[in-house]
Amino acid sequence: MSGRIAPVTDAAEAQAKLTKLRTQDFSLPVHSHGKAKVRVMKVVRTEAKHFCYEYSVDTTLYSPTYERVFTADDNTDLVATDTQKNTVYVVAKRTKADSPEQFAVDLCKHFLSEYSILTGAEALVRQVVWERAVVDGSDHDHGWIKRGPEMNVGHCKFDRDDVPVVTSKLQGYTIFKSTQSGFANYLQDKYTLLPPCEERCLSTEMDATWTYARDIDGDCGGSFDYSSLRTTVVSELTKGIFGPASGGVFSVSLQATIYDAGCMVLTACPDVKNIKIETPNKHYLPYRQLETLGETFEDDVFTPTDEPSGTIQCIVER
Ligand SMILES: O=c1[nH]c(=O)c2[nH]c(=O)[nH]c2[nH]1
């Protein structure tokens, strides 16, 4: 005996072996299939300058008919996940793909128009944020820089009998306030060690997710400018957290600050239905041991920590 597992030569025999394992049928209330993390970079070349859009895409397809793939060993009409991967590149080529939201919408539209068997399609598009390089004070025409963990995310769920539902996300927006933050008047009991303060640093790696009014979803044909809305959302969030460039705004808690920022987004963006803001509170702890080292702590030397972090989050809705 060689110790090798005997190869299966007869398909019917293989089928019999397989089905023998299943002794009973159960229901299959949920199923789907898709491709995850398909990476694509699209470069748009104009005479004056280039534009680049890098994405990591997850696709998911839905059809009740595909129950047979799971339960009856029948792959008829199945859109293979490898085909879904190829589709990401084809749609990147054929469409503008200049925002993660529109790319997600266009992918879903492609799947639904191409395959009548599908009842729904979903695409999650994460955009790696490349920033145009600045050289000697001027925007470079083809040079790019990537900073930090930030991503722009677009999601589309498109059921055939409905309008596409689009969600946008700003992920990993990392901010630091070196003053204009305090935390006081909270419950003090025998478990409390944190001293109240009127002066501290505030930092978070924020995720903000917003949804759209229904009529935007209906208008997903390509005319809605998701990118410029994103610019407004980010600028309102930034203003809400930091306040005016000179002097800023005082934060009595991260809770109050993200609620304020959310309200500012809804005020500036009538097309946004609600915004979810998630902010792990990353602590910059005063390095008070300076005192024992013969130095004075003057709100100037801190120990950065990101674990454990507070988990402050809310949804602000109009
Ligand atoms: O802004 C804050 N909110 C809290 O709920 C909290 N809790 C804490 O220990 N520090 C802070 N900071």
ipTM > 0.85 for the complex: yes
Distances, alpha carbon 165 to alpha carbons 39, 100, 102, 204, 304, in Å = 23, 14, 12, 29, 39
| Angle CA 190–192–193, to nearest 5 | 120
CA angle 156, 159, 161 (to 5 degrees): 140
**Ligand 1: distance of its center to the CA of 252 in Å?**
9
What is the CA(194)–ligand 1 centre distance, in A?
9
* Catalytic residue check, 81: yes
Q: Binding residue per annotation — 103? A: no
- Cβ neighbours for 88, distance < 8 A, ≥ 6 positions apart: 35, 38, 40, 57, 59, 107
- Is 35 labeled as catalytic in the residue annotation? yes
Q: Is 254 in the pocket of ligand 1 (CB under 6 A)?
A: yes
255 is in an annotated binding site: yes
Cβ 203 under 6 angstroms from ligand 1: no
pLDDT tens string 212-269: 987 776 555 567 899 999 999 999 999 999 999 999 999 999 999 999 999 999 999 9
Residue 110: how many CA atoms within 13 Å on its side-chain side?
24
At 34, the pLDDT band (50, 70, 90 cuts) reads very high
Give the DSSP H/E element, type plus range, for residue 281.
Answer: strand 272-282
Q: Which domains does the chain have, with CATH numbers?
A: 30-162 (3.10.270.10), 173-318 (3.10.270.10)
List pLDDT tens digits, range 100-157: 999 999 999 999 999 999 999 999 999 999 999 999 999 999 999 998 889 999 999 9
| 86 among annotated binding-site residues | no
Q: Verify whether residue 96 is a known catalytic residue.
A: no
Q: Which of 33, 42, 50, 81 is catalytic?
A: 81
Query: Parallel, antiparallel, or unpaired for β 272-282 and 138-159?
Result: unpaired
Residue 1's pLDDT band, with cuts at 50, 70 and 90, is very low
* Options 155, 157, 276, 283, the catalytic residue: 283
**Ligand 1 centroid to 279 CA: how many Å?**
11
Query: What spacing in Å lies between the alpha carbon of 253 and ligand 1's midpoint?
Result: 6
What does pTM read for this prediction?
0.91
**pLDDT at residue 15 in the model:** 63
One-letter amino acid at 206 equals: M
Please tell me whether 200 is known to bind a ligand: yes
